Structure 1
Amino acid sequence: MELTFLVANPYLQGDYFQESVILILEHDEKGALGLIINQESNASIADVVEGGTSQDAVLLGGPVDQKFGWCLYRYPTGMEGEIKLGGNTCVSTSYLILQHLMQSLGSEYQLIMGYSGWGAGQLEKECQEGTWLWVHMDDSLIFDTPIEERWSTAIASLGIEPAQIMPGGAKA
């Protein structure tokens, strides 16, 4: 099952979201919530989680509440607090699930601090302005693609090169 991602327009320069790929968790008439999946922090999981040993980088999910953690992972645990996003991909804010994944050999997970949020109508307005491209892909973008290649891979999935994208948004 495909997941929905927002991919920053190549013309979005000098902004926090430059070359960002955001996994959309929720989008309705009240607004939207998502996690940037390609912006590394300077900290490893071992640096921020007590008992953590992974040297994998903690990702920055967005500018909102960067002390709040999200665990994005590939296979359901069946534990309370798990939200299935599509296919086998799940997200949780449960520390117990994070601990379980850290202790399970071969678990595919990413720790993400903070999130990206939009108020009612804000994301739609940004899309009309051309800030974001909508991309539907499976979880291989998250779990099988190196972090530094996620933006270019997402753009390429549209069948276009970044230079083919025009600045500005939809004009009617």
Structure 2
Amino acid sequence: MDTLKGQFLVATPDMSDERFAEAVIYLVAHGDDGAMGLVVNQPLPDMNLADIFAEIELAEDAEPIRVPDRLLHQHVFKGGPVESSRGFVLHSSDYFRDGNSFAVDDDITLTATLDVLRAMIEGKGPERSLLALGYCGWEAGQLENELRHNGWLTAERSDELLFSLPAGRKYDAALAAVGVNRATLSPVSGNA
């Protein structure tokens, strides 16, 4: 099986599930057993990393730490409908904890423990990061079926699209990466 791990899924007008309308999903796993990904272009309203940092207990007797400004206003994303209260940090591979981090590829890592948030607050975390609550999951064969029914386009990973672009521009950028735009993206498509 060819894996789509490390690529984007870009929702088409044929996507029947409204939760994924105009979604851009980064696939962190894909194989014979199914797939897992995070929506990277749907920020949660009125929530940013500063809100998350204020809610978690990092250490009872720790000295006050000044959170780097670049993190304070960073969006928290709606990663998907599965386990929507669980946090997943998708980040550059310059941060890795054995047993806690999962290498998606040579450049991107996923960590789903508080360790990465502690490191970020202390200025020892990854250079680039994206926090998502929840994830998207597919059973064996389910994603392939959705692809056959034109629910998704696939696009190669771009660090700019993943980490730098404003959330509202990611869908159009992902479409452009596969050579289409909203005007040319037809709700009626076929398979070759």
By the TM > 0.5 criterion, same fold? yes
Give me the TM-score of the superposition, normalised by structure 2: 0.79
**Corresponding residue number in structure 1 for 2:48:** 44
Displacement of 1:139 after TM fit? Answer: 1.8
Aligned residues: 171
Map 1:92-131; keep pairs closer than 5 Å: 92-104=111-123, 107-131=127-151
Aligned equivalents of 1:87, 1:146: Cα separation in 2 = 24
1:70 aligns with 2:73: no
Displacement of 1:157 after TM fit? Answer: 0.8
CA contact (8 A) 1:27 1:33 kept: yes
The RMSD of aligned alpha carbons is 2.3
Map 1:1-172; keep pairs closer than 5 Å: 3-12=6-15, 15-42=18-45, 43-49=47-53, 50=56, 54-80=72-98, 81-104=100-123, 107-168=127-188, 170-171=190-191
More strand by share: 1
Greater Rg over alpha carbons, structure: 2
Larger deviation, residues 114-123 vs 85-94: 85-94
Unaligned runs of 5+ residues in structure 1 are none
Identical aligned residues as a percent? 29
Partner deviation per Cα, 1:31-59 (whole Å, 9 max, x = no partner): 11000000111222222232695232211
Tell me the secondary structure at the aligned position of residue 10 of structure 1. coil
- Partner AA of 1:124 in structure 2: E
Give me the TM-score of the superposition, normalised by structure 1: 0.88
